[in-house]
A and B are shown apart, each in its own frame.
Chain A
Amino acid sequence: MARPRARLLQGNEAISLGALAAGCNFFAGYPITPASEITEIMSRELPALGHPFIQMEDEIASLGACIGASLAGKKAMTATSGPGFSLMQENLGYAAIAEVPLVLVNVMRGGPSTGLPTNVAQGDVQQARWGTHGDHPAIVLCPATVGQCFELTVMAFNWAERFRTPVILLGDEVVAHMREKVALPAPEEVEVIERRQPTVPPDWYVPYKTDGSLIPRLASLGQGYRYHVTGLVHDERGFPTRRPDEVEPFYARLFGKISRHFSDLELVRAFELDDAEVVFIAYGCTARAAQAAVRIGREKGLKLGMLQLLSLWPFPRRPVEEALTGRRMALVPELNMGQISREVKRVNNGRTQVLRHGKMDGNMITPDELLNRLREVK
Chain B
Amino acid sequence: MPPVHRSVVYGWLRHDKKFPHVWCPGCGLGILLGSLLRALSQSGLDKNQVVLVSGIGCSGRLPVYVDVGSVHTTHGRALTFATGIKLAKPELTVITVMGDGDATAIGGNHLIHAARRNLDIKTVIINNQTYGMTGGQYSPTTPLGAKATTAPYGHIEPSFDISALSATAGASFVARSTVYHVTQLDQLLGQLIAKPGFGVVEVLSPCHTNFGRQNRLGSQVDMMLEFKKRGVRVERWQKLGPQEREGRYPLGVLVDRQQPSFDDSYQAMAAQAAALRREKQP
Contact = CB atoms under 8 A, between A and B. Distances in A.
**B: contact size bracket:** 35 or more
Given A50-B270, A61-B79, 17 more contacts: A26-B87, A61-B77, A61-B80, A63-B80, A68-B88, A71-B85, A72-B84, A72-B88, A72-B89, A221-B51, A224-B48, A226-B48, A227-B69, A228-B72, A229-B72, A230-B64, A239-B18
B45 to A, nearest CB: 12
A230 B47 CA distance: 19
Nearest to A229: B71
Nearest to B274: A48
A64 interface: yes
B23 to A, nearest CB: 14
Interface in A200-250: 220-232, 237, 239-240
> When A and B form their complex, which 5 residue pairs have the shortest distance between CB atoms, in order from nearest?
A68-B84, A64-B80, A65-B84, A72-B88, A69-B84
Given A94-B74, A224-B48, A229-B70, A67 B81 contact: yes
A73 interface: yes
A76 interface: yes
B91 interface: yes
A91 B92 contact: no
B63 interface: yes
A56 interface: yes
Interface of A: 26, 28, 44, 47-50, 52, 54, 56-58, 60-74, 76, 90-91, 94, 220-232, 237, 239-240
Interface string B76-109: 0101111111111101100000000000000001
A64 B68 contact: no
B44 to A, nearest CB: 17
Given A48-B273, A52-B87, A239-B64, A222 B72 contact: no
Most chain B C-beta atoms within 10 Å of own C-beta, residue among A64, A68, A227, A240: A68
8 contacts: A61-B83, A65-B81, A68-B88, A221-B69, A222-B48, A222-B91, A223-B48, A226-B47
A94 B109 CA distance: 20
B98 to A, nearest CB: 13
Contacts of B69: 221-222, 225-227, 229
Contact of B273 (A47, A52, A61, A90): A47
A-side interface mostly: mixed
Interface string B33-72: 0000000000000011101010000000001100111111
Contacts of B53: 68
B110 interface: yes
Contacts of A54: 83, 87
A157 B254 CA distance: 45
Contacts of A94: 73-74
A221 B95 CA distance: 13
B64 A69 contact: no
Contacts, number: 145
A112 B86 CA distance: 35
B110 A57 contact: yes
A231 B73 contact: yes
A229 B64 CA distance: 9
Contacts of A226: 47-48, 67-70
B64 to A, nearest CB: 5
A266 B110 CA distance: 39
Contacts of B79: 61
B80 A65 contact: yes
B38 to A, nearest CB: 19
B77 A91 contact: yes
A203 to B, nearest CB: 11
A281 to B, nearest CB: 36
A198 to B, nearest CB: 13
Contacts of A71: 71, 81, 84-85
A222 B74 contact: no
A60 B84 contact: no
B89 A73 contact: yes
B4 interface: no
B70 A228 contact: yes
Given A74-B88, A222-B89, A222-B91, A64 B72 contact: no
A50 B81 CA distance: 20
Interface in B115-173: none
A224 to B, nearest CB: 5
Nearest to B68: A226
Contact of B88 (A48, A73, A224): A73
A230 B72 CA distance: 5
A11 to B, nearest CB: 24
A61 B110 contact: yes
A57 B109 contact: yes
Interface in B240-282: 266, 269-270, 273-274, 276-277
B233 interface: no
B88 A52 contact: yes
Contact of B81 (A44, A64, A73): A64
B195 interface: no
Given A226-B47, A226-B67, A239-B64, A69 B85 contact: yes
